[in-house]
Structure 1
Amino acid sequence: MNQKKTISTLIVLGSGGHTTEMFRLLSGTDLNVYKPRYYTIASTDTMSAKKMKEFEQNTLDDMNVSFINRSRHVGQSYFSSIFTTLWAFFTVIPLVYRIRPKLILINGPGTCIPIVIASLLLSLFFLIDRPKIVFVESICRVQSLSLSGKILQYLPVHILVQWPQLTEIYPKTQYIGRLV
């Protein structure tokens, strides 16, 4: 019997438009390949949790949801966000270790930064296999990367952009056309 290989996937959801774009992206994939799917959502983000349940309602797959601390709240100063990001980082280490994702799919919310760093550090110390990390920049980012994208360009992350001019400014990015 020929069974498809599945890929354990960690999906980071963010508030508002990030969540909408992520589900548009996921709707164009073969969900039978990307499973089990683990979702992380900021503990204060009730809208994303609702959208995730709606998206997954017709699948028979087990969904795994974890609520995590936000790295940065809307309007929070960059200085104070250093401390909330560090706190979020330490709280996601056990989560990433337990899940051991093969793929981490992110699209911009600040909560993705601690998850990416935790996964890279855990793999550096051979505690997990290094996952493939794919960052899809938002369609609304036409002239520059988001703060998350600017940070992630210095890490071993595949950064996909939806506007060709971004590859001229940020050579580590890859233009993939409009996805969402």
Structure 2
Amino acid sequence: MMTLIKPLNSDLYTPRYYIVAESDTLSESKAKAQDSKAIVYRLPRAREVGQSWTKVPWNMICALMVSIRIILKTMPDLILCNGPGSCIPICMAAYLVRILGIRKQRIEIIYIESFARVTSLSLTGKLLYFFVDRFIVQWNELIKKYPKAEYHGILV
């Protein structure tokens, strides 16, 4: 994600909020190293790697509650997300703002599928495909299966 946003004009796209999983210290340090004005929020993961699926509903509710607070506090114009399931509760919170009409201007959501997904979507991609405003893939093969997807070549 940091490679994708690096060329964006920081004067036009400000403030920037970065949302990272609670257990992800590397992403936070990268955001702060690349953007001196970085505002970082931590979000509980809906599911840790290897965690039992029985704990996912509770974890997802917790992540969604934190996401709602973040979205209501920041009211972003755009959410740019990729890959990890951590972006699902953030997108859900933004969609909730739309449905409830809390903000006149809708929060645009752009999802960028992982470069590693060549022939099929990730679970996160499958869940968000119908709800995001723009769905970007990095392999031409995917637009044949997913007509809503946009292909702009390899982005990273």
| Aligned match for 2:67, one of 80, 92, 112 | 92
| Aligned match for 2:26, one of 47, 51, 66 | 47
| Aligned match for 1:37, one of 10, 16, 21 | 16
Give the count of matched residue pairs: 155
Q: 2:114 is matched with which residue?
A: 138
Query: In structure 2, how many angstroms separate the alpha carbons of the residues matched to 1:154 and 1:115?
Result: 15
Alignment of 1:149-160 (within 5 A): 149-160=125-136
Alignment of 1:104-115 (within 5 A): 104-115=79-90
| Aligned match for 1:76, one of 31, 51, 58 | 51
Instruction: Tell me by how many angstroms 1:31 deviates.
Output: 2.2
Give TM-score scaled by structure 1 length. 0.81
Query: In structure 1, how many angstroms separate the alpha carbons of the residues matched to 2:69 and 2:110?
Result: 21
Q: 1:25 is matched with which residue?
A: 4
Q: 1:147 is matched with which residue?
A: 123
RMSD: 1.4
Call closer, same or farther: CA 1:156–1:26 in 2, change over 3 Å: closer
The answer to whether the 8 Å contact 1:139/1:162 transfers is: yes
Work out the percentage of aligned pairs sharing the same amino acid: 39
Q: 1:6 is matched with which residue?
A: none
Q: Secondary structure at the match of 1:39?
A: strand
Query: In structure 1, how many angstroms separate the alpha carbons of the residues matched to 2:49 and 2:147?
Result: 29
Q: Deviations over 1:62-106 (max 9, x none)?
A: 321111111111122444323211221012111101100000010
The answer to whether the 8 Å contact 1:167/1:175 transfers is: yes
Q: Secondary structure at the match of 1:93?
A: helix
Query: In structure 1, how many angstroms separate the alpha carbons of the residues matched to 2:61 and 2:133?
Result: 20
Q: Deviations over 1:115-167 (max 9, x none)?
A: 10111111211112321101111111111111110000121331100100101
Q: Secondary structure at the match of 2:42?
A: strand
Call closer, same or farther: CA 1:77–1:176 in 2, change over 3 Å: farther
Query: In structure 2, how many angstroms separate the alpha carbons of the residues matched to 1:161 and 1:79?
Result: 31
- Contiguous gaps of at least 5 residues in structure 2: none
After alignment, is 132-141 or 68-77 more displaced? 68-77
